[in-house]
Every structure is written in C-alpha cells, then in structure tokens.
Amino acid sequence: MFLSIVMLAPIILFVYNRPWHTKQIVEALLKNELASESDLFIFADGPKDDVTIEQINAVNDVRSFIKNISGFRSVNIEVSDNNKGLANSVIYGVSKVIEQYGKAIIVEDDIVTHPYFLRYINDALVFYGDDSRIFSIGGYCPNIKIPFWYNKSSFIVHRAESWGWATWKERWEKADWSVSDYDHIRKSNKAITLFNRGGEDMFPMLTSQLNGEIDSWAIRWDYTLFKHNAYCLRPTKSLTYNIGFDNSGTNCTTINPKDIPVLYNGRYSFKLKKNIKECPIISRRFKESQDHKATLYHRLLYSVKKRLK
C-alpha cells in the first residue's frame, strides 16, 4: 500500500529515566523505512519527589539524549516538571496528539521495533480505519502457533496491545478511564468471563486498578475494547519486542518464554484483508499464552504490597 506523508500517523514516544533503553528504541525506529517521513512526539516524564541523585541523573541523561534526536520529519519534545506516572503520561500524550492528527502510533521506552513496524501499522490504520470493530493495531505477537491453514498475515483478539500499538481518535475518545460500571461487571460471572477472553489476568488487573493498587492505562483501554466488543489487530509474526525485563521499568520484571516473540523475517509481505474474522483456535492459543500472567501478576502484586508495608 502506497502512503503519502499526509496519511502517515505521528509517532508518540514516552520516556523517563532509562537512557540506554531510550537510545535502543530510537535507533530501532530510525531503521524503519518511514521514519524520515514521520513526525515524532516525545513526552518526557519528570522525576518523583523521593528519587535519588542517581535517578535524577538518569532523567537528565534521557533529556540530554532526546534533545539531539534527528532523522524524523520533525521532533517535538514536551518535558514535564513533575512526575505524572506512566498511565497519566500516556493518556495525556495520546489525547493531545491524536486530537490534532486523528490517529497515532505509540511506543514506550522499552519497546524495540522491527524495520517494518511503521509500515505495517500505518497500512493497517488506513486499511481498517472504517472497520468499527477494530479499536487498536498492535505490533506484538506472543510466541503462539498459528495454524498452518491460516492464510492471513494478521489476526484479531479481544485484548489490546501496549508493546507498540496505534489507534484512531474516535476510538480513543470512547475510553472511560474511570471504569464507571465496574460494579456491574464484578457481580456478573458472564461479564468477567467475557472480559477475560484475552487472558485470565485481565479482570484481576482491572480490580487492582480500581482498588488503587496499580496505575495502568492499558487495562482501562482493554476495558474500552470490552465495552464495545472490539478487537485489536496483530501480525502473525511479531514486529516488536520488549527489552524492559530488567527491573528498570514500571510494570516489567522477569520475562516468561511465552512472551518472547518470533520476529518477522523476510521481505514485507503483509496482506491485509477486509472483514477479517476472529479465528477461535488463534484466540484460544493467544489466551493460553497470556494466562500465565495471572499467576505472575499476583506474585508481583504481593511483592509490591510487601515492600509498601
């Protein structure tokens, strides 16, 4: 699909205090064939109140690095004096950019992208722009077995993606960040089952979000997909991978083998299909690949609570 510069979605990058990770992410983005034609918006969060000198230096190192980024059509930087936190930063930054551009591609500072990432995401944003069932385009695919007879290069599931993704303004604006009908879902086993179609960790995460135990934009975005019975489109071979499983970030500590993707290899051959249907086998295997996170999530939450005591 040929895309003009006008049709390309802006890239939003969220950074904080990881200079090495940020450099890897920017270098990977620059290897994308559409990087030089894309506008880059960087949101740099501010230091927390109780940080060490070492952490403040890390924040400053990131800011020094991003000031010298070039190779994109434009580079726009917004630095925060205070610490918004990842969730508020993402909601604020995406809302601001998408209001102007109508769509956006979002990357956090631990997501390395394949050279075809921007092309695939931009193609999908244009191709599925009128498909109201699809709320999100993801670049990541977990290590699952795709049936040999499945002849499409993408699939849809009821779980959004945060490891390199995109959406449109009219979908993003449907988000209910307060999760206003949580009590209704909590009291309905059927609703919980439907919410957990993308993994058994999802409703426990939503509960923890509402209890103030975590601060996640992603699980509330999943809630938006649930409310509208919507899908996230993903490639059958991953175009992103996460390098943040080193205790340096907000939500990632250790990696499970199921989370290590099979990266796309070869020439660009993604063929998008209109009226794409959900494949029950892929959905089941995808869910199984995520179910281990329910146990991992509870371990992490227990660890966090223990540290706070």
Confidence at 266, pLDDT banded by 50, 70, 90: confident
Q: Are 73 and 37 in contact (CB under 8 A)?
A: yes
Q: What torsion do the CA atoms of 193, 129, 107, 220 make, to the nearest 10 degrees?
A: -30
Question: Quick one: which of 285, 275, 133 has its CA closest to 197?
Answer: 285
Strand-pair partners of 232: 136, 157
Q: pLDDT tens across 50-75, in order?
A: 889 999 999 999 999 999 999 999 99
Task: State residue 267's pLDDT score.
Answer: 84
Q: Which two tokens stand for residue 99?
A: 């209001």
pTM (2 d.p.): 0.90
Question: Quick one: which of 16, 240, 275, 202 has its CA closest to 116?
Answer: 240
Q: Are 125 and 168 in contact (CB under 8 A)?
A: yes
How would DSSP label each residue in 237-302?
SBSEEE--TTTTSSS-----GGGS--B--SS------TTPPP-HHHHHHHHHHHHHHHHHHHHHHH
Task: State residue 305's pLDDT score.
Answer: 44
Question: Quick one: which of 273, 269, 7 has its CA closest to 116?
Answer: 269
Please state the φ and ψ torsions of residue 88, each to the nearest 5 degrees.
-65, -35
Confidence at 2, pLDDT banded by 50, 70, 90: low
Confidence at 309, pLDDT banded by 50, 70, 90: very low
Cα–Cα dist 260/4, whole Å: 34
Domains of the chain, with CATH numbers?
A: 5-308 (3.90.550.10)
SS3 53: helix
Cα–Cα dist 309/302, whole Å: 11
Q: State the average pLDDT over residues 155-178.
A: 98
Task: State residue 5's pLDDT score.
Answer: 61
